[in-house]
């Protein structure tokens, strides 16, 4: 088999299929290659907010997802027998979030990608690139294993949408930069037969945070987030997870008659990073390009946002210059906020924050709106001084701890990098 596409996308999940659908709408031929059997589950965050729900609607996926009956969710925080509940600022008439398992979300996006005319090859790992990805030797396709044979696939552009351990990033030498360490680990499991409600509930028991997310098809996601240094001492993760959940009466009361229907899964490796994101004949998208701590719940949203933004840049061949600038602008503040999310809460800090959030509904909505990207994080934090003190005075004050090039993902071409850097300098007040 030999084939040629305008764009080869490596990775057949949200970042890859979302981009493929937008590219097909612009008339480009697209081949999607994934090493796994599709569709299938993958470790992921699950919650999407009004901005991302609207993007799924534009992709034609929302009705299919809502057929799985995920309840609309407001956000609640619990600490020392006090709590608040807040909606989001509406977008497209929705002021709520959804929790969707990736087995559901990925399946429908793959269906729509195929229906749009993209060719999808699963069980087809990419083993090499055609071209080195430099100015002198641009990427011009991939070598993929299909039915046990290595096949060369030509393409004008190769997109690595293949996650944090991206094969494409490794092949072009795009290393992790501006790495943000984490003090926390995150684990979760799926449950059924749980008392369902219309809130995603966060239970703060410093230094632990556990959470309950009612999801699709009667499933529920229950998470455990705590000190990463404890991971090595945990001999039985399943037992430890259950003990943590049982220690929170408000949460365990919902689960005592429920059934856990998955193993506990997760990771202590939650460091944030950027990579150089574009070069001659290649680019990275989704978690392959930039990863935030999962407490930000931005993985799915970032992937679909990038898909919308990248499609016109790819169509007019301006992605090498425009994409790094776009990524820096849209990620800067929230990446800084992730340092706060990656830290561990304290009882005193939570008491002080809850004193304000319980009394001030405007501040409470502003804080939860950080996750839906309808307010800049520090504009919300200024309404809650205890949170501002913990987070730092500004995004710039946080990010100066992570030195790197102004655009950590600038192109290999020094001339192109200079143009992007100059544009960023002139627009940094945006």
Q: Which residues lie across from 221 on neighbouring strands?
A: 190, 213
Among the listed residues 101, 92, 94, the one whose alpha carbon sits nearest the alpha carbon of residue 72: 94
Whole-angstrom Cα distance, residue 273 to residue 164? Answer: 9
Q: Per residue of the chain (430 residues), give pLDDT as tens.
A: 557 999 999 999 999 999 999 999 999 999 999 998 877 777 788 999 999 999 999 999 999 999 999 999 999 999 999 999 999 999 999 999 999 999 999 999 999 999 999 999 999 999 999 999 999 999 999 999 999 999 999 999 999 999 999 999 999 999 999 999 999 999 999 999 998 889 999 999 999 999 999 999 999 999 999 999 999 999 999 999 999 999 999 999 999 899 999 999 999 889 999 999 999 999 999 999 999 999 999 999 999 999 999 999 999 999 999 999 999 999 999 999 999 999 999 999 999 999 999 999 999 999 999 999 999 999 999 999 999 999 999 999 999 998 775 544 344 344 443 443 343 333 333 2
Instruction: Give me the pLDDT at residue 412, please.
Output: 37
Check the CA dihedral 186-192-193-198 and report its sign: positive
Q: Where are the beta strands (DSSP E) in 11-92?
A: 30-33, 47-48, 74-79, 82-86
Opening angle at CA 59, ends 43 and 218, nearest 5: 45
What span, in angstroms and rounded, lies between the C-alpha atoms of 393 and 405? 22
Q: What per-residue confidence (pLDDT) applies to 1? A: 52
User: In this structure, what token pair is assigned to residue 412?
Assistant: 């290999």
Q: 186: helix, coil or strand?
A: strand
Q: Is the dihedral of CA 331, 334, 340, 342 positive or negative?
A: negative
Chain centroid to CA 386: how far?
27
Q: Which pLDDT does position 404 carry in this prediction?
A: 72
Strand ranges for 181-262 from DSSP E: 184-192, 199-205, 208-214, 220-227, 259-260
The sign of the torsion formed by the CA atoms of 179, 165, 144, 5 equals negative
DSSP of 113-152: HHHHT-EEE-S--EEEESS-SSSSS---EEEEEETTEEEE
Domains of the chain (ranges plus CATH)?
A: 3-46+101-180+272-335+401-424 (3.50.50.60), 69-100+183-269+347-392 (3.30.9.100)
Which pLDDT does position 405 carry in this prediction? 56
Q: pLDDT tens-digit profile of 304-342?
A: 999 999 999 999 999 999 999 999 999 999 999 999 999
Q: What is the pTM of this model?
A: 0.91
Q: Cβ of 385: how many Cβ atoms within 10 Å? A: 12
**Facing residues of 220 across strands?**
191, 214
């Amino acid at each position: 088999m030999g084939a040629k596409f305008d764009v080869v996308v490596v990775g057949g999940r949200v970042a890859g299929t979302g981009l493929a659908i937008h590219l097909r709408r612009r008339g480009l031929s697209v081949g999607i290659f994934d090493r796994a059997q599709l569709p299938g589950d993958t470790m992921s965050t699950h919650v999407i907010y009004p901005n991302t729900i609207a993007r799924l609607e534009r992709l034609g996926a929302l009705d299919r997802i809502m057929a799985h009956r995920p309840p609309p969710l407001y956000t609640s925080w619990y600490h020392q027998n006090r709590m608040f509940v807040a909606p989001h600022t509406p977008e497209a008439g929705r002021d709520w979030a959804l929790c969707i398992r990736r087995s559901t979300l990925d399946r429908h996006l793959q269906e729509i990608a195929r229906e749009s005319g993209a060719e999808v090859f699963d069980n087809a790992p990419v083993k090499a690139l055609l071209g080195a990805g430099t100015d002198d030797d641009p990427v011009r396709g991939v070598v993929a294993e299909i039915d046990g044979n290595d096949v060369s696939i030509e393409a004008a552009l190769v997109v690595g949408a293949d996650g944090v351990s991206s094969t494409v990033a490794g092949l072009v030498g795009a290393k992790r930069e501006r790495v943000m360490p984490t003090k926390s680990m995150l684990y979760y499991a799926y449950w059924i037969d749980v008392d369902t409600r219309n809130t995603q509930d966060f239970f703060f028991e410093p230094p632990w945070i556990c959470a309950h997310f009612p999801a699709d098809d009667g499933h529920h996601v229950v998470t455990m987030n705590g000190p990463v240094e404890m991971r090595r001492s945990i001999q039985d993760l399943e037992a430890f997870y259950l003990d943590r959940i049982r220690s929170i009466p408000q949460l365990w009361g919902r689960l005592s008659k429920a059934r856990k229907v998955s193993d506990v899964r997760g990771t202590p490796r939650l460091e944030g990073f950027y990579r150089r994101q574009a070069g001659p004949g290649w680019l990275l998208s989704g978690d392959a390009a930039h990863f935030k701590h999962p407490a930000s719940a931005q993985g799915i949203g970032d992937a679909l946002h990038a898909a919308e933004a990248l499609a016109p840049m790819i169509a007019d061949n301006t992605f090498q210059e425009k994409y790094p600038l776009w990524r820096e602008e849209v990620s800067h503040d929230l990446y800084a906020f992730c340092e706060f999310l990656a830290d561990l809460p304290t009882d005193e800090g939570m008491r002080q924050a809850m004193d304000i959030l319980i009394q001030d509904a405007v501040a409470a909505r502003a804080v939860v709106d950080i996750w839906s990207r309808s307010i800049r994080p520090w504009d919300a934090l200024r309404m809650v001084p205890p949170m501002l003190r913990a987070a730092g005075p500004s995004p710039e004050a946080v990010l100066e701890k992570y030195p790197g090039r102004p655009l950590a993902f600038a192109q290999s071409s020094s001339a192109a990098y200079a143009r992007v850097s100059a544009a960023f300098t002139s627009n940094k007040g945006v």
